[in-house]
Amino acid sequence: MQKNMDQEKTQQFEDEIKRLYFENFDDNLMSFWNVHLKPVIDIAKKLAVKYEADLEIVWLAAVLHDIGQFDDIENHDTVGSEKAYKILFERGYSEEIAAKVRDVILTHRVKSYLPETLEQKIVATADAMAHFTTAHYVWMAYISKKPFAELMKKFSGKIQRDFQDKIFFEEEREIMRPQYEMLKKWFEIV
C-alpha cells in the first residue's frame, strides 16, 4: 500500500473528471457518474483499504475506468486505458503511476486481458459490484434503443459473467449473491 499518497490531489482529480461529465455531456451521461462511476469509485476505495492495495492507483483507475466509452463502447477498455494514461501524464502524474492505471483499466472488463495484480482485481470487482448495487441496469435500459426482451437476455448474461468472472474476492461475491439472485430472476421473466 502506498503510504504517502496525496489524497487531496487525487480528490481534486476526481472532482475535475466529474466536472467534465457534468459540463460536456447530456443528462443521460451526466447521470452515468452517479449511477455507475461514483459507486465504482467508492467500492474500489474500500476494497483497496481492506486488501491493502495501492489506493492511489485503484482510486485513479476507478475514476477513469470507463473513460473510453465515449469513443468506442465495445473496446472502451483498450481505448480508455490509453486515454487515461495521456490524461494522467498531462496532469503531472508520473509515467509509473499513469502506466499502472492504464494497465488496471485495460483489464477491468476481464475480457481481452485478465487482471493479475491486486489493484486490477479490485477495480474489476468494484465495477461488477456496482452493477448489482445501483440502478445501473435501469439506466442502461433507459438509454438503450434495443427491444426490451433483447436487453433482458443481454443483462442476464452480463450479470452472470460479472458475478462469476469479475468478482475476485469470495467475501465480496457472497455479499453480492442476494442481489445477483434477485436480478437473475428479474431478467429471466421475459
Domain boundaries along the sequence of the chain: 7-143
- Taking only the tens place, the pLDDT of each residue in 8-20 is 999 999 999 998 8
Provide CB contacts within 8 A for 154, sequence distance 6+. Answer: 146
- Model confidence at 68, pLDDT cuts 50, 70, 90, reads confident
Q: Cα separation of 66 and 43, whole Å?
A: 15
Left if phi > 0, otherwise alpha if psi is -120 to 50, otherwise beta: which for 52? left
For range 52-81, the mean pLDDT: 90
- Model confidence at 3, pLDDT cuts 50, 70, 90, reads low
Give yes or no for residue 176 having a pLDDT over 90. Answer: yes
Q: What does the pLDDT read at residue 41?
A: 97
Q: Cα separation of 111 and 120, whole Å?
A: 13
CA 50 to chain centre: 18
Q: What does the pLDDT read at residue 4?
A: 67
Q: What does the pLDDT read at residue 125?
A: 98
Contact of 105 with 117, CB cutoff 8 Å: no
Q: What does the pLDDT read at residue 94?
A: 96
Helix (H, G, I), strand (E, B) or coil at 73: coil
Domain 7-143 superfamily per CATH:
Hypothetical protein af1432 (1.10.3210.10)
For range 77-93, the mean pLDDT: 94
C-alpha cell at position 141: 435500459
Residue-averaged pLDDT of the chain: 91
Q: What does the pLDDT read at residue 134?
A: 74
Contact of 60 with 88, CB cutoff 8 Å: yes
Task: Give exposure, 64-101, as e/b (b: 16+ Cβ within 10 Å).
Answer: bbbbbbbeeeeebbbbbbebbbebbbeeebeeebbbbb
Q: Structure pTM?
A: 0.93
- Taking only the tens place, the pLDDT of each residue in 156-169 is 999 999 999 999 99
For range 97-117, the mean pLDDT: 96
Q: What does the pLDDT read at residue 118?
A: 98
- Model confidence at 95, pLDDT cuts 50, 70, 90, reads very high
For range 33-48, the mean pLDDT: 95
